[in-house]
Amino acid sequence: MSTFATDLSVDDLKNEASRLFNRKRLTNFGLPALLLAYLTYVFFAFDVPGLTSRADWENGKTLVSDSYSYKTHVERDNRNAEIAIAIEGERKGTYPEGMTPDWVTLGETTVIDLEDGHVVRFGPETVEYDIPGYGTVRATPTRTAGVQAELPDGEIPEWINLSKNRLAVTTDAGRLTVTRNRSEVFRYFTGWELFWFTLDSPYYGQSFTELAGRAVSGEAGEIFSDFWTNKMWRHQDVAWAIFETILMAFLGTFGAAMVALPLAFLATRNFNPLKSVRFFTRRVFDFVRGVDALIWTVVLARAFGPGPLTGALAILITDTGTFGKIFSEALENVDQKQIEGVQSTGANAPQRYRFGVIPQVTPVLLSQLLYFLESNTRSATVIGAITGGGIGLLLTQAIITQKDWEEVAYYIMLIILMVMLMDWFSGWLRKRLIQGKT
């Protein structure tokens, strides 16, 4: 840092060195200590200790297990003995008349095989559940006296919940609930059921080779349309939502670039001699950037309502400020010699810009633009969640229902894939365009 004076004694030098060491030691110790102090403050300011009591771990468990598994409900109305079988208990997943999964046998006594020896029987009067290693639980729902349950001798285990009007048995194989009006069995499966076809489709449950065979023999169109209009997973809507999200990012980014480029010239020292205009343009950039996409989204949603246009315009306005700043910095760093060279051949002003300035700044601008295209795909997801458009909307809707966690997992996967794809695509394009240009 400084040159050492030759007239310093050894002691002075030693002192100097140890002083420096001490200072270094202090910063080495002080910085982490400061960091730790701040994080401790945040720890208590955010009430992290109280979090464990507020957190709902049950919710977390259902979330995780539901995201990779589903359950099928078999439900009997005890008043008229009608049986309904539905995946996730949803109307969209109800088995049509006469169609049952192979582990349910309908009859006067309906037998539900939960595997590993667990069998539930819905008799005309009594519901029975054979539990291996425990015995048979019998329950008789009556109109007047509630649910009459008969358990094997001994203490009631904690996985059986018994009250006057309700019996609930939860085992690894499934779950049985009997109330006065309803008897219900849940059986759990791994995977995303009905992902390809819903139960009302003739292609449900067919193997891939069968489908391929049918597709070759001319049913490809119907197969695709059954998949595309799947009511449970709504593939068509999801595809549109992803398209909308990418569209928002695309329109926002390139629209902002088109608005910002001419304005950026106004904000540079070398192209705009008027100081007041320069100052004003720069403050406009700072303003639109400072207001932030969140507030622009709120304001625009009032004028245009929810949808992709609102999101695209919010990105466009915010990024006009960002691009204006970046572009004007790039333009200020332009080499004047090339412009002079073009001018010396007798070029007029537009030609000077076209051949002297633009070729110099294109690589910088393009690479910034493509970088923002990727990051705006993510912003478009976020803005979509707020203003209601694209995959962000689908995601928030699925989370609000608090039970379609398999759909949430599916959307999250799609979002990650979409962003990574855009990242790869913009990187590829950047390499192609910039190497091709220079």
> Which residues bind to another protein, rule: CB under 8 A?
1, 35, 38-39, 42, 45-48, 51, 54-57, 59-60, 63, 240, 244, 247-248, 250-251, 254-255, 286, 289-295, 298-300, 302-310, 312, 378-379, 381-382, 385-386, 388-389, 392, 395-396, 399, 402, 408, 412, 415-416, 419-420, 423
Contact by Cβ (8 Å): 393, 382: no
- Minimal distance, residue 89 CB to another protein, in Å: 20
Nearer to another protein, 152 or 359 (CB): 359
Contact by Cβ (8 Å): 311, 297: yes
Q: In 3D, which of 325, 251, 255 has the Cα closest to residue 287?
A: 325
Nearer to another protein, 25 or 79 (CB): 25
Query: Sign of dihedral through CA atoms 211, 212, 214, 215?
Result: positive
- Residue 134 phi, psi dihedral angles, 5° rounding: -130, -50
Contact by Cβ (8 Å): 342, 351: yes
Nearer to another protein, 193 or 244 (CB): 244
Category of 192 on φ-ψ map: left (φ > 0), alpha (ψ -120 to 50) or beta: beta
Sheet holding 182-190, edge to edge: 83-87, 69-77, 182-190, 174-179, 166-170, 160-162
Length of the chain: 438
Nearer to another protein, 47 or 116 (CB): 47
- Minimal distance, residue 305 CB to another protein, in Å: 3
- Minimal distance, residue 352 CB to another protein, in Å: 19
Nearer to another protein, 127 or 315 (CB): 315
Neighbours of 198 (CB within 10 A): 21
- Minimal distance, residue 381 CB to another protein, in Å: 5
Nearer to another protein, 141 or 390 (CB): 390
